[in-house]
Amino acid sequence: MSLVFFSVGATGPGSAFEQILRFSAVRTDWNLDELESVDLRCRLLPHVIASPGVVHAAGYTVDELTDISVPTHYQMVRSVRDQLLKWTPATFIGYNSIACDEHLLRHALYQTLHHPYLTNSDRNTRSDVMRITQAAAIFSPGALTIPKDDQGLLRFALPELAAANGFKGSAISGTSSSVRAMMFLARLLMDNASEAWSSAMRFSKKATVTDFVENETVFALADFYFDKPQSWLVTALGADVSIRTDYYVYNLAVDPDELIKLDDEELASRLEAQPKPVRILKINAAPILTSATDAMGAARGSNLGLQELERRADVVRTDRDFCDRLMRAMAGKRKEKASSPYVEEQIYDSFTSNEDLRLLADIHRIPWHKRPAVIDNLQDERLKTLGRQLMYFEQPDLLSAASRLKYDREFAQKLAYPAGDVPWLSIHHAIEEIDSLLAGLPKRRSEKLQAYRSYLTRRLGEAKSRC
């Protein structure tokens, strides 16, 4: 099993309406010796507007974004998927990838009719260099130089962090440079914070996290909120009945003897107050965990001493009625998320059936002219919609004139949508963002943005003519 360090360059920060433009990855062995690498790119989808901030930061030109000599989005996703399957099984590692890059990759796979959970299925596991760096900042201070802002808060932006620790690469704007920077940090972590690194590799597996949580009487859970480190000594309560990857843990800094006496209404109210008695641990999101002995002095509750912490943990774990009351109260606070009206945002609404997965595998093996019939046989309406859209993007001539006109109008209306509250970036929004950026730029640095504005203005006129 190898490690795969990867990074994606996208049109925006990570919504379902953005697309990957570039994918870079390096496969290494467990000593971080490089084995092979890949760097793939594609052109802009016709209905997607790249964020002006991304265009400016990455230095994209209109010609680069629209170059028809490079693969389409679908073609690139097929290449990415084939490469990752070739490297499977592996531990996939990015930088802030569990919060961002993973979602972009999942959406790219989902919207091109592929199984979206590639990096954490079929014996694959995942981790995150930023999470490991944060763990080191808490439990191995001094292992890395962590830059701070004017308020003294720790800064974990990859360019700043890599440079502060001696990375000699050029300005980190491309995905390939980002992969090299995170590999540089990974080597430092392996050498200077070996326990944090080993722990992260261990807890890249859901089963290992679950086993640790259920069998350690007292352990430490840590996280960062608004760049501030937080860590707690906790004990396990149990898994959420509806979201099995969410595990409830009890904060042992809160005396359970005080909470056991509360009725259900009082208990639910107390869960809202600080310090929070119960926290949620996501077992599939590279949690920052360590043993109680390694966390003493760093985690909240350390002042109680290990003997008192173990006593409190025993009180909680042996009172199943109390555990159940706490978990019911937590579950009752969770609001059920309404399904989005947009198919792009429905990825997590349900899992794909085995029958549809079989049909999806067939779709990519048969000629394009045979695909519409297979798409129509899919049970999942989301996949039918995405499949028909994919036909429009890739092979519009195979659609009827009425279908092409329908999609022409639908996507033109999205592009020309007036500035307002919609989840995608419309041309109006993008032009407003460009004008704001241009106001603070000297003329010599504004040429690409000016050219992008002219391109968007032309696209807006074309979109309005189709509405």
Residues 6+ apart with CB under 8 A from 198: none
CATH number assigned to the domain comprising residue 212: 3.30.1520.20
**What is 104-153 written as a DSSP string?**
HHHHHHHHTTS-S-GGGSTT-EEEEHHHHHHHHHHHSTTSS---B-TTS-
- Count Cβ atoms within 10 A of the Cβ of residue 352 and give its class: 0-12 exposed, 13-18 middle, 19 or more buried: buried
pLDDT category of residue 173 using cuts at 50, 70 and 90: low
CB 415 within 8 A of CB 47: yes
* Domain-located, residue 383: no
pLDDT category of residue 174 using cuts at 50, 70 and 90: low
For residues 279-307, average pLDDT: 93
Residues 325 and 254 in one domain: yes
Q: Could you give the CA distance from residue 50 to residue 336 in angstroms, rounded to a whole number? A: 32
Residues 26 and 153 in one domain: yes
> Which of 176, 195, 214 lies at the terminal end of a domain, its last residue?
195
pLDDT at 383: 97
Residues 149 and 214 in one domain: no
The length of the chain is 467
* Domain-located, residue 240: yes
Residues 106 and 222 in one domain: no
CATH number assigned to the domain comprising residue 54: 3.30.420.10
Which residues share a beta bridge with 281? 247
Residues 6+ apart with CB under 8 A from 89: 1, 122, 123, 124, 125
Which residues share a beta bridge with 280? 248
**Predicted TM-score of the model (pTM):** 0.93
* Domain-located, residue 99: yes
Residues 217 and 185 in one domain: no
For residues 23-46, average pLDDT: 96
Q: Could you give the CA distance from residue 410 to residue 417 in angstroms, rounded to a whole number? A: 11
Residues 114 and 216 in one domain: no
Q: What is the pLDDT of residues 52-86, one digit of tens each?
A: 999 999 999 999 999 999 999 999 999 999 999 99
* Domain-located, residue 354: no
pLDDT category of residue 175 using cuts at 50, 70 and 90: low
> Which of 273, 303, 333 lies at the terminal end of a domain, its last residue?
333
* Domain-located, residue 449: no
Q: What is the pLDDT of residues 421-430, one digit of tens each?
A: 889 999 999 9
pLDDT category of residue 228 using cuts at 50, 70 and 90: confident
Q: Which of 259, 130, 270 is nearest to 189 (CA)?
A: 130
CB 461 within 8 A of CB 413: no
* Domain-located, residue 66: yes
- Is it the case that residue 385 has pLDDT exceeding 70? yes
Cis peptide before 396 (omega within 30 of 0): no
Q: Which of 292, 300, 213 is nearest to 249 (CA)?
A: 213
pLDDT at 443: 82
Domain that holds residue 22: 2-195
pLDDT category of residue 242 using cuts at 50, 70 and 90: confident
- Is it the case that residue 13 has pLDDT exceeding 90? no
- The structural domain count of the chain equals 2
Q: Could you tell me which residue, 445 or 254, shows the higher pLDDT?
A: 254
* Domain-located, residue 271: yes
Residues 178 and 294 in one domain: no
pLDDT at 332: 87
pLDDT category of residue 419 using cuts at 50, 70 and 90: low
Residues 19 and 158 in one domain: yes
> Which of 195, 224, 245 lies at the terminal end of a domain, its last residue?
195
Q: Could you tell me which residue, 186 or 338, shows the higher pLDDT?
A: 186
Q: Could you give the CA distance from residue 197 to residue 191 in angstroms, rounded to a whole number? A: 9
pLDDT at 272: 93
H and E: helices and strands count for the chain? 20, 10
The lowest-confidence range among 102-106, 122-126, 171-175, 317-321 is 171-175
Residues 220 and 270 in one domain: yes
Q: What is the pLDDT of residues 306-357, one digit of tens each?
A: 999 999 999 999 999 999 999 999 998 887 788 999 999 999 999 999 999 9
- Is it the case that residue 100 has pLDDT exceeding 70? yes
Residues 35 and 164 in one domain: yes
CB 139 within 8 A of CB 222: yes
- Is it the case that residue 227 has pLDDT exceeding 80? no
For residues 346-372, average pLDDT: 95
Residues 262 and 321 in one domain: yes
Residues 169 and 270 in one domain: no
pLDDT category of residue 431 using cuts at 50, 70 and 90: very high
pLDDT at 2: 95
| Cα radius of gyration rounded to whole Å, the chain | 25
pLDDT at 202: 95
* Domain-located, residue 347: no
Q: Could you give the CA distance from residue 131 to residue 307 in angstroms, rounded to a whole number? A: 30
Mean pLDDT of the chain: 93
